[in-house]
Amino acid sequence: MKFIIKQSSLLEGLYRLGGVVGEKQNFPILNCVLVKTEKDKLKFISTSLEITIITYLESSIEEEGIVAIPFKRFVSIVRELPKEEVIVEAYKDNLHIKSEKIEFRINCINPEEFPEVEENIEESLIKLSISDLLEMIKMTSFCVGREELSYVFSGILFEIFESKINLVATDGKRLSFIQRPLPSTQPPINNKIKFILPIKSVYEVQKIIKDKEEVFIFVKGNDIGFDVKDTILITKTIEGEFPDYSQYIPQPTQDILTLKRSEFLSSLKRAQILSIPEYQGVKLNIQKTQMSISKSTPQLGELKEVINVSYTGTPLEISFNPNYLIDVLKNIDDEDVKFEIYGSDKPAVLRKDDFIYLVLPIKM
pTM, full prediction: 0.92
Residue 291 φ then ψ, to 5°: -140, 125
Q: Where in the chain is the domain with CATH 3.10.150.10?
A: 2-113, 126-247, 251-359
74/96 Cα distance (integer angstroms): 11
Burial readout 301-317 (b: 16 or more C-beta within 10 A, e: otherwise): eebeeeeebebebeeee
* CB atoms inside a 10 Å sphere around CB 226: 22
Q: Give the tens place of pLDDT for each residue, 201-222.
A: 999 999 999 888 889 999 888 8
Q: What b/e sequence results for 250-288 when a residue is b if at least 16 CB atoms lie within 10 Å of its CB, and e otherwise? A: eeeeebebebebeebbebbeebbebbeeeebbbbbbbee
pLDDT at 147 > cutoff 70: no
pLDDT of residue 277: 83
Q: For residue 173, which of 209, 130, 199, 144 has the smallest C-alpha distance?
A: 144
Number of Cβ atoms within 10 Å of the Cβ of 346: 14
- The pLDDT of residue 355: 98
Class of domain 126-247: alpha beta
Nearest to 51 by CA among 26, 27, 89, 22: 22
Cα–Cα distance, 62 to 250 (Å, whole number): 64
Give start and end residues of each alpha helix (H) in the chain.
7-17, 71-79, 130-138, 199-209, 261-272, 322-329
Which CATH number fits the domain 2-113, given the four candidates 3.90.1640.30, 3.10.150.10, 3.40.190.10, 3.10.580.10? 3.10.150.10
The residues, ordered by sequence, that sit 6+ positions from 143 with a Cβ below 8 Å of its Cβ are 169, 170, 171, 174, 175, 176, 327
Judging by DSSP bridges, how do beta strands 94-99 and 51-58 pair with one another?
Answer: unpaired
**pLDDT surpassing 70 at residue 308:** yes
Confirm if 3 and 37 have CB atoms less than 8 A apart.
yes
Tens of pLDDT, residue by residue over 3-34, are 999 999 999 999 999 889 865 567 889 999 99
Q: What is the pLDDT of residue 330?
A: 96
- Round to whole Å and give the CA distance between 44 and 180: 33
Mean pLDDT calculated for residue range 88-106: 95
Considering the segment(s) 251-359 as one domain, its CATH architecture is: Roll (3.10)
Would you say 258 and 292 are in contact if contact means Cβ atoms under 8 Å apart? no
Residue 11's SS3 state is: helix
- Residue 302 pLDDT more than 90? yes
SS3 213: coil
Residue pLDDT, tens place only, 227-255 = 998 999 999 999 999 999 999 999 999 99
Calculate the CA 104 to chain-centre distance.
36
Q: Looking at residue 121, what is its pLDDT?
A: 63
Considering only CA atoms, which of 49, 7, 13, 43 is closest in space to residue 31? 49
Region 127-154: mean pLDDT is 90
pLDDT at 313: 96
Q: For residue 271, is pLDDT > 90?
A: yes
pLDDT confidence of residue 118: 74
